[in-house]
Amino acid sequence: MFSIVREPITLHSLERIARASDGGVVTFFGVVRDRESDGRAVTSLWYEAFEPMALREFETIASEAQDRFGDVNLAIVHRIGEIAVGEISVAVIATAMHRQAAFDACEYAIDQLKLRAAIWKKERYADGTSQWRATPSLGNL
């Protein structure tokens, strides 16, 4: 399951992807925090995506995870638009027969997603200013 959504991501909105053979299910939620690393107060984030390209990259990342970690199953859901503090912006779920493969695949997927997916983030601050944050491989908008 790979998707880009505009509505809130909740536990109930995620399909159950675990298979009967999976003994490990690892979930990562990226949540909007109220402070930037430099201490500035954040009020919300704004995400934009080139959806077809981002979804293809999700699929590529999942295929790579299977090559690296074996029989793992991945779901990646990323939200776009304005997202308030405390809300989920991205969810990655990895399942595998054993927990270590699920942990490894989940970590690999979120790290690669942040590096490669065509998704951009703008931080909005309490002082009324905002700033696009650079995506390592894609640069700023």
- Distance, in Å, from the CA atom of 66 to the CA atom of 96, rounded to the nearest integer, reads 10
For residue 14, the model assigns a pLDDT of 75
Does 15 map to a domain?
Answer: no
CATH, residue 31: 3.90.1170.40
- Distance, in Å, from the CA atom of 15 to the CA atom of 34, rounded to the nearest integer, reads 28
Counting as low any pLDDT under 50, the low residues of the chain are 139-141
Domain count, the chain: 1
For residue 138, the model assigns a pLDDT of 52
- Distance, in Å, from the CA atom of 38 to the CA atom of 43, rounded to the nearest integer, reads 15
For the chain, the distance separating the N- and C-terminal CA atoms, rounded to the nearest angstrom, is: 27
Does 138 map to a domain?
Answer: no
Give the helix/strand (H/E) hosting 105.
Answer: helix 99-116
Residue range(s) defining the domain that contains residue 59: 2-10+20-122
For residue 133, the model assigns a pLDDT of 87
Does 131 map to a domain?
Answer: no
For residue 16, the model assigns a pLDDT of 80
- Distance, in Å, from the CA atom of 8 to the CA atom of 82, rounded to the nearest integer, reads 10
Write out the two tokens for 118.
């065509």
For residue 47, the model assigns a pLDDT of 97
Does 139 map to a domain?
Answer: no
Does 135 map to a domain?
Answer: no
